[in-house]
A and B are shown apart, each in its own frame.
Chain A
């Protein structure tokens, strides 16, 4: 096995299936320490599934995922817990625990996994909330804050245990451009301040431009292109070109052909 110490995540020949349907088809890639790696693709291409595998929420059909050189997929649940403490994840819908205040959400992992006393935990929680610009919102319930703030709080929670890697699932989905840009800037800031490795799943080209060091483009569970954002922009691969030019799928040129395509079945 190739274990380059510059690579914090190494994915090898990953295959994921839902029943008989193959969702991720033989995917391999590396994520370097400290970079922001973006997984880009259209709806339903398997990018969220790929992220769930990386975060250990699903077990793949075959293939391996190495995190810090350790095979994450071959571990039992207890061994996984140790690795998971070094991972953070921001969910698409923020997934804050609705029955707890924002501060309790952030403090939860610290209370459960560490033996720190309560006042230390309170201070650490406050720092994390300040970090994402939510100082003073600790006592609010998740239902009382806006969507963008929830995502920030989700990031603060993911940061609670000072992880090495953070996974973001569609960070800008459902946010207006200004709030989304703010979140992109925050992702960038986290990465540069703490030398975090970020893996971001998205379909938003605007945020890819802002945050990505390297991008891999998925289509139907396969990687069609991988490289820097400029490399992708210059790519001659038809799907990549179509995606970057925001062209819809061909539906027939003339009105007659279009009507025929609807009725021919």
Chain B
């Protein structure tokens, strides 16, 4: 019993400590991103652009492919049910709405976590192990400004951009399957798609993707700074970074889905 209480207490304290550390990191990052440029201490633009290319542009092929396949899969799955009601034309509506509101932001976030969230952790972790973070500090360069702020801004721009692309490709995937395989009229598909989606669907998807971006970046960075020991520590935290990040993304997804459902 005592052991159980002790265990719960330790886990609780560790969690609280982690939340506190993340909060400090958030305040620090926002300080460097929002306040510092006003004081003439600019953001590292080149590094930001490089990271944008890495997080965003380079993830386009894989996100595109997966989105196309998911769109096709959704069309197939829904036709299986809708055929019973003779409501095949609503395949288009189903693919478009679930794609925009849910699947495009989620798939994009999870893929970018796997590609770049892990890379952020590994990069910062390796730098910490090799004393490069210490070297930055000794040189009077703030690691948050130098390493975190460019990644944060790049991620914040990259994820929504790729999400929009994923939305479009997902609809295209549904379109391809419905017209080529099921034999639906192409004009009808686009007509139903256009009728079924409203502005709020797009807004929901984009708002989610912004918060997913924040989650991916901060979990990646936090895990990176937590690396202790050598290469083994980097590996451990990288794995843990992806798992934590996906878990947090699902939580954020739940919160925002509920928010848009009730509001």
A245 interface hit (Cβ, 8 Å): no
User: Which residues on the A side are within 8 Å of B135 (C-beta)?
Assistant: 89, 91, 95-97, 157
Q: Is the CB of B138 within 8 A of A56?
A: yes
User: Which residues on the B side are within 8 Å of A82 (C-beta)?
Assistant: 140
Q: Is the CB of B140 within 8 A of A109?
A: yes
A77 to B32, CA, bound (A): 15
Q: Is the CB of A113 within 8 A of B134?
A: no
Encode A2-18 as 1/0 by CB contact (under 8 A) with B. 00000000000000000
User: Which residues on the B side are within 8 Å of A108 (C-beta)?
Assistant: 139, 141
CB contacts under 8 Å to A, within B15-58, are: none
A95 to B134, CA, bound (A): 8
Number of interface residues of B (CB under 8 A): 12
Which residue of chain A lies nearest to B141 when distances are taken between CB atoms in the complex? A112
Q: Is the CB of B131 within 8 A of A93?
A: yes
CB contacts under 8 Å to A, within B103-140, are: 126-127, 130-132, 134-135, 137-140
Contact of A92 among B126, B131, B138, B141 (CB under 8 A): B131
User: Which residues on the A side are within 8 Å of B137 (C-beta)?
Assistant: 56-57, 84
Q: Is the CB of A57 within 8 A of B140?
A: no
A161 to B140, CA, bound (A): 11
User: Which residues on the A side are within 8 Å of B127 (C-beta)?
Assistant: 97
Q: Is the CB of A98 within 8 A of B130?
A: yes
A215 interface hit (Cβ, 8 Å): no
Q: Is the CB of A91 within 8 A of B131?
A: yes
Q: Is the CB of B139 within 8 A of A95?
A: no
User: Which residues on the A side are within 8 Å of B126 (C-beta)?
Assistant: 98
Q: Is the CB of A91 within 8 A of B134?
A: yes
User: Which residues on the B side are within 8 Å of A112 (C-beta)?
Assistant: 139-141
| Minimum Cβ distance to chain B for residue A236 (Å) | 38
Q: Is the CB of A89 within 8 A of B130?
A: no
A157 to B132, CA, bound (A): 12
| Minimum Cβ distance to chain A for residue B145 (Å) | 9
A89 to B127, CA, bound (A): 16
User: Which residues on the B side are within 8 Å of A161 (C-beta)?
Assistant: 139
User: Which residues on the A side are within 8 Å of B140 (C-beta)?
Assistant: 80-82, 84-85, 109, 112-113
Q: Is the CB of B139 within 8 A of A84?
A: yes
| Minimum Cβ distance to chain B for residue A226 (Å) | 25
User: Which residues on the B side are within 8 Å of A156 (C-beta)?
Assistant: none
Which residue of chain A lies nearest to B47 when distances are taken between CB atoms in the complex? A99
Instruction: Give 11 new A-B contacts, CB below 8 A, not counting A57-B134, A84-B140.
Output: A52-B134, A84-B138, A89-B135, A91-B134, A96-B132, A97-B127, A97-B132, A98-B126, A98-B130, A108-B139, A109-B139
The 6 closest A-B pairs by CB, nearest first: A95-B131, A84-B140, A95-B135, A81-B140, A89-B138, A91-B131
